[in-house]
Structure formats: structure tokens, C-alpha cells
Amino acid sequence: MVSTTPFKRLLPRVLVTLAMLCGGLPTVAMAAEAHIAVAANFTAPMRALVQQFSARSPHTIRVVTGSTGKLYSQIFHGAPFDAFLSADQTTAARLNKDGLTVANSTFTYAEGRLIFWRRGGERTNGVGGDNNLPPWEAIKRRDFSHIAIANPKLAPFGKAAVQALQRAGVYEAAQRALVYGESVTQAHQFVAAGAADAGFISLSQVWQDGQLISGQGWLVPARWHDPIRQDAVLLKRGASNQAAIAFMAFLKTAAAKRTLAQFGYIE
């Protein structure tokens, strides 16, 4: 008589394998890695979001930051990014037109705010210690030798700063003092390092949990410049990248939106 013991021992394994192949049992998600290009103004929130995402996902997110214009150029010339988080809507639209994105993957993930900020002094939400005092008169008096802004040709926050200065009627007076950073991150660095007296930067760079982290600032009314709506888009290189796809989905969650609100972004 031929013994059937070996087959009996193997039978449970065979059934489990067949069930997995037929979709009867869940399979373990394979970890993937995505490289995401991120607008400089979104550096701090992105760091927090990646930390949150990593705590609940097996995937790895690698981040490269820079000015929106520079990142667009890199993507256009073949940089190996799977997704792009722009500081505006125009650049994502350009990439769509260039045929470099996954169809219908573009969405607005945040709306930024512009703040006139200077370091030092007692922390307050107003310039010069007065919560109601905008910087325009001080600019007219030439109280600031150097005012940092992001390059308006490359960075949406720089463009918004110029629009605000024009709206206040002080752009001509300010021009002599303007110093340009490649990105809003560099504009912030100019002020933080003392190379500029003050600057127009992203609120997210100096704001957390409902207050300024340091220095003094005046929040520029949103109506004084074009909305700084920021679009994200999945690039063709990331079309089948599960890490990129999962992170883009995470950006749309309530948890991600709560984090963005903590950094001063409009929900």
C-alpha cells in the first residue's frame, strides 16, 4: 500500500496557495520607493507628512526640494521623479501639456499664504510689535536695507510678493532693497541668517500649531495677490509606482489636511 501521509501534510499548504492565487486570501503588500519633487515652500509640511505616511505604510518616500521653475526644468529634461508637488497650478498644467503626467491625476493639495517676516525681537503676529501695522510705511521710509523675496520668474511666492507690493503702491520704493532668492526657501534663509532685514516668505516656513515659531510677521491679505493654489501630479515615470500612488492618495485624506492646517495652509 502506498502511504498517503506526505500528501496529507502538503494539502493545507496547497489549499492556501490556491486560495491566494484565486484572491481568497490577502497578499502582503510589496514595499516600494518613490522619488517626489516638492516645491521649496512645502519642505517642512512635507517632512511631517512623510513621517505620518511612513508610520502607516511599508513604502519609502524620497524628497527633492527646489523652486517650482527649476523642478519643472529638471522633470522636462528627464529627471527621475515619480510625482511632483508644485507651488502653483500653472506648472502642473504645463507638465500635462508636455505629456509627462498620468492623465487626470492632477489635484490641488494646498493653498499657501504669504507673510512679511523678520527675525529677532519678541515673537508677535505683527511687524514691529503692532499686530495691525503692515510694513508698507516702513518700506516707504526705507527702514529696510534688504528685503528678500523669491525670484518671481521661478517661484509663485515671489510673484505674489510683487503683486502685494504693487497693490500697496510701494513696489517702486521697495525695488532698491529687493534681494532675490532662487526659491522661497532661500528667501527665508536670507532673513534667518541676517543677510536681509525682512522678507516675503511662505507662512508655512515660520508657522506651526497656530502661532509664529519665531520672529515678527504680518500676514499679507490673500486678496492682495493671486491665490497660491498648489497642485500635485503623478508623473508618467510613477504611473505604476505603488509608493507614489499611495502617497498621492494620502495627500487627500483628512489626516493630511489637518497637518497642512497646522502649518498655516488654507484647507
The CA–CA distances, whole Å, from 2 to 7, 42, 52, 172, 238 equal: 11, 70, 58, 98, 55
Q: pLDDT at position 61, please?
A: 98
Query: How many C-beta atoms surround the C-beta of residue 180 within 10 A?
Result: 16
- pLDDT tier at 122 (50, 70, 90 boundaries)? low
Q: What is the pLDDT of residues 155-183, one digit of tens each?
A: 889 999 999 999 999 999 999 999 999 88
Average pLDDT for the chain: 86
Query: Are the C-beta atoms of residues 49 and 256 closer than 8 Å to each other?
Result: yes
The whole-number average pLDDT for the span 34-40 is 95
For residue 100, give the nearest of 230, 241, 233 by alpha carbon. 233
For the domain spanning 114-224, the CATH number is: 3.40.190.10
Q: pLDDT at position 259, please?
A: 93
Query: Are the C-beta atoms of residues 164 and 114 closer than 8 Å to each other?
Result: yes
Q: pLDDT at position 200, please?
A: 97
Query: How many C-beta atoms surround the C-beta of residue 21 within 10 A?
Result: 10
Angle at 250 (CA atoms; ends 245, 252), nearest 5 degrees? 110
Q: pLDDT at position 196, please?
A: 97
Say yes or no: domain 33-111+228-262 is CATH 3.40.190.10: yes
- pLDDT tier at 211 (50, 70, 90 boundaries)? confident
Sign for the pseudo-dihedral over CA of 193, 201, 150, 249:
positive
Residues 202-225 as b/e (b if ≥16 CB within 10 A, e otherwise) read: bbbbbbeeeebeebbbbbbebeeb
For the chain, the domains span 33-111+228-262, 114-224
- CA–CA gap between residue 266 and residue 231 (Å, rounded): 13
- pLDDT tier at 130 (50, 70, 90 boundaries)? very low
Q: pLDDT at position 35, please?
A: 98
33-111+228-262 with 114-224: one CATH topology?
yes
pLDDT at 120 over 80: no
Determine the distance from the C-alpha atom of residue 258 to the mean position of all C-alpha atoms in its chain, rounded to a whole number: 14
The pLDDT > 70 percentage for the chain reads 84
Helix axes 43-56, 254-262, angle to 10 degrees: 150
The pLDDT > 90 percentage for the chain reads 69
- pLDDT tier at 267 (50, 70, 90 boundaries)? low
Q: pLDDT at position 149, please?
A: 97
How many residues are there in the chain?
A: 267
- CA–CA gap between residue 71 and residue 40 (Å, rounded): 10
Q: What pTM value is reported for the model?
A: 0.73
Residue type at position 57: S
Q: pLDDT at position 104, please?
A: 96
